[in-house]
Amino acid sequence: MSTVAKSCSNCAASCCRFEVFLITDTGVPEEHIETDDDGTQTMLRLDDGWCSALNRETMNCSIYELRPWLCREFEMGSIDCLETWQAKL
Ligand code: SF4
Ligand code: SF4
């Protein structure tokens, strides 16, 4: 078992590589939204695999107050977060 302390600061924002569906309107700026032919909206991901709203220098969310509902639900230390950690070890 790893003894590395789990924290967003040493996780390289692993969860910000996931496909994030926009299921409520939280005010995400248009430039960060991708809309498919069916009208389904997700957070835009760039060629490096991360969400376009991720600040690549600080590895923090640049739209934290406007982040999607799914991002608000995904808390550090939650089951989903711990599973993400396990997957990258
Ligand atoms: S919430 Fe969890 S998976 Fe996401 S960046 Fe933080 S430690 Fe990593
Ligand atoms: S909106 Fe913010 S918290 Fe959500 S995936 Fe993008 S950078 Fe990460």
Helix, strand or coil, per DSSP, at residue 54? strand
For residue 17, what are the domain limits?
Answer: 8-83
Q: Give me the number of domains the chain comprises.
A: 1
- Nearest ligand by distance to the CA of 75: 1
Does ligand 1 come within 6 angstroms of the Cβ of 76? yes
pLDDT at 88: 65
Q: Are the C-beta atoms of residues 77 and 85 closer than 8 Å to each other?
A: no
Q: Which atom of ligand 1 is nearest to the CA of 77?
A: 2
Q: Are the C-beta atoms of residues 28 and 69 closer than 8 Å to each other?
A: no
Does ligand 2 come within 6 angstroms of the Cβ of 22? no
For residue 3, being part of any structural domain is answered with no
For residue 44, being part of any structural domain is answered with yes
For residue 88, being part of any structural domain is answered with no
For residue 1, being part of any structural domain is answered with no
For residue 12, being part of any structural domain is answered with yes
State the pTM of this model.
0.87
Average pLDDT of the segment spanning 27-56 = 97
Does ligand 1 come within 6 angstroms of the Cβ of 15? yes
Average pLDDT of the residues of the chain:
89
pLDDT per position as a tens digit, 62-84: 999 999 999 999 888 888 888 88
Q: Which atom of ligand 1 is nearest to the CA of 8?
A: 6
Percentage of the chain with pLDDT > 70? 91
